[in-house]
Structure 1
């Protein structure tokens, strides 16, 4: 079986985790602090704050910019359901707008039409690692006077041409950037997340809230030569990352440049092979974007049945996934008002297929995927014609 994805973990990560376990400090501690410093340096952010996962990162980001009960947050439906869940955890309402079909990201032209006097924030998603058109998004956000949160769950290692220079996703263009380290992501700690920001105040709040609102961190108490009693001035959460996870993450960061280079090479091989294949359109990378290709998502022709193509590939021993989910089509978010058309989002879910892509993939395995996709397309057309 050729899997859809495979985390790249080796002896270095195993040894790092072992050392953290044997150190006796396994919860949030010195390894978390070092991981934060390493991460901030790589992406070029002033602050990086590690948390338990990207969903908790999104929750804290929304709280930091002031989202609360009755507010509205403009975002896409075409993303993992954690986005809407985090908005609703604040008592706010997600306002779903459509995507650009080429990049699978938010359509900046749809944002202004969705704004009301209750709009408190815009949450964009760098979907599958492809950067959003942040210049266009920020122009709208400035006109509206609202902050921008970047959901970069899939975005580590991607780059964008912004203000005339290439910069890493994670150096905030908006107000706060949120990352995931789930095993499907380019960098993994098993579970885990990170927030980056240029704001000292936001970062201070993240660090307070992630540890129950505790005024003094564990590291500060344990390193103090005098007795310290912490207090709890605000309500907080248990959103901490462990030192075991952070130790693994530090090793993952050392692999990052190699990982991105290989993923981009595999994506280019896909593009070259698929651009002439009848029935499939490879994804588009704008001139101002360099994707990490966290996922490789292709459009199927309208005369093809998505499920039959995927089943034929599964029968050939190749795992695929359908296009990215839409939150508004899930029962958990069925009560969210939908005043705006989401036709491109719905088409992407139902007419796109994610192909396998991972660093350990050989050229021979990729050629097998390409051949299986071509055969599956032909099989689907024969069945429809019959």
Structure 2
């Protein structure tokens, strides 16, 4: 991060996100290519060990995406037809899609617009005898109210952490991924740590860990690396379950491990930028900065503010257009899944039953935040918003 300096120049386009990679990542890829072993192997194992240590869990498994991580989580928890899974009404569509792919029913729950996370009272009201799990999304890097959720849920109802945005985040000192029965992370380029695509599944449960490891590799009883480097590589493994090909490559893992070593610096730099946003946005009474309470170790995957429609001189969408005209990338926070055609059609969901999610969809605005920008870029964004009309 260039402290206060615009690396790209005033007239250059400022993207909403940009991966922070360099020669270390290139060198890591070179080592994998020269090794001759490109698929899941020793680099994956090293990355998994480092990830588990950083997030305070016994087990971490690298997979192809956070979507596949979520799917694996529900599969190993035995979620299937006839089951209900509680899902936030405001989240990326993958959170709900994986429930459908298991043959179960997503039951949508409204959010608190201030935190963008699950409303515990709404969770309590949505529970039925068919509820088999809750997916708690740590949206934009802020941990969901895990203690409140745990107090509400009946014994035996697991919490799956959708920690796609929350690598390095924490809740009262406890790391994301260690707060529920299973945690699921993303390594997409818009995340703090990336390897292009990829995900991680975490758990402290030994039995779930064994199932996750098996299901991600076609259901095989032993991995390819162990088999091919063992004394009888021609013997095929046993297959006792119907698994998936959700394995990460060593190329991705090598990049991810380099990125993971930079995680604390990345988050610290993002906090400096977020602090500058907070201070500068005080000049605009129609934009509310995101909440960052002391107990929640926000990873700041995104800086998502909220536009007050009663005070703003322009709509949220017009603000997005103004920024685009000024060569500044910005986006809505995410979408209200309950308003998407597929869910309205297949499940008869009424979006108006979720006022928190609908307000967040209409009024949230994600401003540029990444480790390749500086405070001068923040100034540029705020100055463009100050002149919006």
| Shorter-chain TM-score tier | over 0.9
Structure 2 residue aligned with 1:218? 224
Structure 1 window deviating more from structure 2 (58-67 vs 323-332): it is 323-332
Structure 2 residue aligned with 1:181? 187
TM-score normalized by structure 2?
A: 0.93
CA contact (8 A) 1:97 1:341 kept: no
Structure 2 residue aligned with 1:323? 333
Structure 1 window deviating more from structure 2 (248-257 vs 327-336): it is 327-336
Aligned pairs (5 A) from 1:269-284: 269-284=276-291
1:201 aligns with 2:207: yes
How much has 1:144 moved relative to structure 2?
5.2
Deviations 1:281-316 (A, max 9, x none): 111112210211111111111133111111111111
Aligned pairs (5 A) from 1:141-290: 141=153, 143=154, 145-161=156-172, 166-170=173-177, 172-226=178-232, 228-290=235-297
Structure 2 residue aligned with 1:126? 138
Q: Distance between the aligned counterparts of 2:282 and 2:104, measured in 1?
A: 43
Structure 2 residue aligned with 1:301? 308
How much has 1:134 moved relative to structure 2?
0.7
The alignment partner of 2:112 has SS state of: coil
How much has 1:182 moved relative to structure 2?
0.4
1:365 aligns with 2:377: yes
Q: Cα RMSD between the aligned structures?
A: 1.3
How much has 1:338 moved relative to structure 2?
3.4
Aligned length: 371
1:56 aligns with 2:68: yes
Task: Name structure 2 gaps, 5 residues minimum.
Answer: 1-12
Q: Distance between the aligned counterparts of 1:71 and 1:192, measured in 2?
A: 28
Q: Distance between the aligned counterparts of 1:145 and 1:342, measured in 2?
A: 27
The alignment partner of 1:121 has SS state of: strand
Structure 2 residue aligned with 1:383? none
Q: Distance between the aligned counterparts of 1:84 and 1:323, measured in 2?
A: 17
CA contact (8 A) 2:343 2:349 kept: no
Task: Name structure 1 gaps, 5 residues minimum.
Answer: 380-386
CA contact (8 A) 1:328 1:336 kept: no
The alignment partner of 2:86 has SS state of: strand
4+ residue runs over 4 A deviation: none
Structure 2 residue aligned with 1:73? 85
Q: Distance between the aligned counterparts of 1:20 and 1:99, measured in 2?
A: 43
Q: Distance between the aligned counterparts of 2:365 and 2:170, measured in 1?
A: 24
The alignment partner of 1:264 has SS state of: helix
TM-score normalized by structure 1?
A: 0.94
